[in-house]
Amino acid sequence: MFNNWLSKRIEISRLIEEFSVSDGARATNLSKEMAEALKKQPQFFKMMHGDVLHHYPAGKAFVCENVEEELPRFLERGISIAGWLVGGKNIKAEHEAGVIEQEMFKESEPFLDKINGSRRFAWSFAEEVEGNYKEEEAWFEMHFSLPKGSYATVIIEELIKSSL
């Protein structure tokens, strides 16, 4: 369910990034004002009013009440957007981000009191990135580290534009 939510948010981000405000709003079912605000953000993965943000790489989660105030911390890697691993004892997204989250997770409602749940970073930052191309072998080696809960295969798939 987390992966479906993340795919939806990436889809929204991509549509907003690649289309005009009007077309992006229509394609994502967001208001024109919301699409315009998202379009102004310089990063690919768009932050929404009501997203659950998490201090990065560790710390407390909180709801984003003001995107303009929180965006610089996201861009400086001090916080990240956190997606829901379903459960009842967990902070939920609100406002526009909450509407998307509710829609994506509505089938889990009957089970929320049976699962604790948690949050996982929706966007992680690779650290200690190194690359070395060995021309004689036509081989590229890459080294990087990720925080707990992040998967190297996701980065590799994005780089090679193919599923592993």
pTM of the entire predicted model: 0.84
Q: Supply the CATH number for residue 57's domain.
A: 3.30.2340
Average per-residue pLDDT for the chain: 92
Range(s) of the domain holding residue 155: 127-160
pLDDT of 114 reads 85
* pLDDT (tens digit per residue) in 3-37: 899 999 999 999 999 999 999 999 999 999 999 99
Tell me: do 8 and 84 sit in the same domain.
Answer: yes
Task: Note the pLDDT tens digit of each residue in 142-160.
Answer: 999 988 778 888 888 888 8
Same domain as 90, residue 11 = yes
Extract the runs of DSSP E, i.e. beta strands, from 3-124: 52-55, 61-63, 79-85, 118-121
> Quick one: 116 and 156 in the same domain?
no
Whole-number Cα distances in Å, 49 to 29, 66, 87: 15, 6, 22
**In a shared domain, residues 84 and 101:** yes
Place of tokens 């004002």: 33
90 plus 29 within the same structural domain: yes
Structure tokens at 68: 């303009």
Which residue in 94, 93, 69, 95 sits closest to 83, CA to CA?
Answer: 93
Tokens of 21: 């405000």
Q: Do residue 76 and residue 155 come from a single domain?
A: no
Verify that 39 and 84 share a domain, yes or no: yes
